[in-house]
Amino acid sequence: MALFKYPVPEKLIDENGLRIDKRKYNELRPISFEVGVLPQCDGSAYIEMGGNKIIAGVFGPRKVQPRHLAHPNKCVIRALYRMATFSVEERKSPAPSRREVELSMVIRNSLEPAIFVEYYPKTLIDIVVQVLAADGGTRCASINAASLALADAGIALKDLVSAVAVGKVDGKIVLDLNDIEDKEGEADLPIAVMPQFNQFTLLQFDGNMTKEEFLNAINLGLEGIQIIYQKQQDAIRAKFAYEYSNSGELTEKNEREDE
Ligand code: CDP
């Protein structure tokens, strides 16, 4: 039985330097965000990044149950990453996999440095991520969405966290791996950064690269992260501009019209 249902092309980069989805080495996949999509959560966000469709919800800060888990000087942060059974080609078992447990921890650890945890002693913040469709780089897309969900919940943040995977495909360093590139490529390097401080909160590496390639990959990732960061900020502004214009208060436009 073939391991992949889709045909894996012989070359992942063609003679013109284009990838299988026609991107250049330094191009991100199309990316879009929507903030405040789940009414039952304190904060939420939805991301589409290439073929990834992921929703993140945040509950809290709220009381810790059981109480002995509470920390006297800071909030406890939990993250849960789950893939829907229909999110991948081979139906995923609904039982939590070891990979999901690991990625829950990776996402939690990538976001915690951005949160002013000491502002919320004895409380709990829950971050829940659901992957509806997966297309490579779901941990990074999840971090991008969950970071916006935290901001949407009004939690005090040092910065947003922006994430992308860089990798090596057919011997070339490329930005934002898709599913085939992730599975068939020679290296995968997911990074998450607080862009305002250029501070890394995640750096994982799987595969082979020379030192020079590694440094190129990091720089390429940082360029992509600047674009993602801008889009995240635009998504927050879009939500609050919409709320403000519907709040009955005068918008700048209305004020001008009234003059
Ligand atoms: O998603 P990410 O790259 O952060 O993590 P990964 O473990 O490297 O998974 C790479 C990709 O494999 C995922 O994004 C999915 O597209 C795919 N995958 C799959 O096809 N079946 C699974 N059970 C898990 C992942």
- State in Å: Cα 178 to ligand 1 middle: 10
What is the per-residue pLDDT for 1?
A: 40
What is the per-residue pLDDT for 4?
A: 52
- State in Å: Cα 249 to ligand 1 middle: 46
List residues bridging with 221 in a β-sheet.
none
Q: Which residue has the tokens 């949407």?
A: 152
pLDDT band of residue 2 (cuts 50, 70, 90) is very low
Q: How large a percentage of the chain has pLDDT more than 70?
A: 93
Q: Of all protein residues, whose CA lies closest to atom 14 belonging to ligand 1?
A: 136
Q: Which residue has the higher pLDDT, 188 or 243?
A: 188
pLDDT band of residue 249 (cuts 50, 70, 90) is low
Ligand 1 pocket, Cβ-based, cut-off 6 angstroms? 88-89, 92, 99, 134-139, 179, 182
What is the per-residue pLDDT for 9?
A: 85
Instruction: Give the pLDDT confidence of 67-122 residue by residue, as tens digits.
Output: 899 999 999 999 999 999 999 999 999 999 999 999 999 999 999 999 999 999 99
Query: Which ranges of the chain would DSSP assign to H, the alpha helix?
Result: 98-111, 138-152, 179-184, 211-245, 252-258
In the three-class reduction of DSSP (H, G, I as helix; E, B as strand; rest coil), residue 195 is classed as: coil
- State in Å: Cα 99 to ligand 1 middle: 9
Per-residue pLDDT for 142 more than 50? yes
Report the DSSP pairing between strands 76-83 and 123-133: parallel
Instruction: Give the pLDDT confidence of 22-73 residue by residue, as tens digits.
Output: 999 999 999 999 999 999 999 999 999 999 999 999 999 999 988 899 999 9
Per-residue pLDDT for 252 more than 90? no
The arithmetic mean of pLDDT across residues 182-210, rounded, is 97
The third-level CATH classification (topology) of the domain covering 31-245 is: Ribosomal Protein S5; domain 2 (3.30.230)
What is the per-residue pLDDT for 6?
A: 62
Q: Of all protein residues, whose CA lies closest to atom 3 belonging to ligand 1?
A: 137
Q: Of all protein residues, whose CA lies closest to atom 22 belonging to ligand 1?
A: 88
Return the best residue to mutate from 47, 52, 87, 88 for the ligand 1 pocket (most ligand atoms within 8 A of CB).
88
Task: Name the E strands within the chain.
Answer: 31-35, 43-49, 52-63, 76-83, 123-133, 162-169, 172-175, 187-194, 199-203, 206-207
Domain ranges of the chain: 31-245
- CA distance linking residue 52 with residue 29, whole number of Å: 10
**Which tokens sit at 78?**
């939990």
The arithmetic mean of pLDDT across residues 141-148, rounded, is 99
Per-residue pLDDT for 259 more than 70? no
Atom of ligand 1 nearest to the CA of 206: 8
Which distant-in-sequence residues (6+ apart) come within 8 Å of 242 by Cβ? none
Per-residue pLDDT for 201 more than 80? yes
What is the per-residue pLDDT for 202?
A: 98
**Which tokens sit at 208?**
């082979």
List residues bridging with 76 in a β-sheet.
124
Per-residue pLDDT for 182 more than 90? yes
Single pTM value for the model? 0.93
**Which tokens sit at 238?**
């879009």
